[in-house]
Amino acid sequence: MNISKEGLNLIKEFEGLRLKAYKAVPSEHYYTIGYGHYGRDVKEDMEITEEQADRYLKMDLASAERAVRSIEQYKDMSQGQYDALVSFTYNCGAGNLKKLTSGRPLDVIGKKITLYNKAGGRVLKGLVRRREAEKKLFFS
């Protein structure tokens, strides 16, 4: 299974496209650029093209998809569940995917996804909206 157009559009919508490096939350260690590409390779004042942003997105999606394919529940997932968890992993990381899915059946995973709505210890409206959109896609 691969991410669908609907799943990809959800990620793009919530990440937004930023061609200049920024910190979404001041406490973050690294900068972010493109469609949410985050890491030590992103430097302050860095600028990229939309084509570079698409390459970063493809690279980062491959990592998120590998993580989702590695969980026990993968074999029983629908496309919507897969897409929602790839979006979640793209945003929250593979470690949080493991926490979310460990020992839980798919229906419980879908309900618990909304708990991951904080950054820097604070509930963020954008994360609340994203998790609700992922939950809706998960149960579609």
Identity of residue 76: D
Which of 6, 15, 28, 44 is flagged as catalytic?
Answer: 15
127: left (phi over 0), alpha (psi -120 to 50) or beta: alpha
Interatomic CA distance for residues 75 and 81, integer angstroms: 11
Q: How many Cα atoms sit within 13 Å of 70 on the Cβ side? A: 11
* Residue 135: both structure tokens together: 């939950």
**Rounded CA separation 60/78 (Å):** 22
15 is catalytic: yes
Tell me the C-alpha distance between 50 and 98, whole Å.
31
Q: Which residues are catalytic?
A: 15
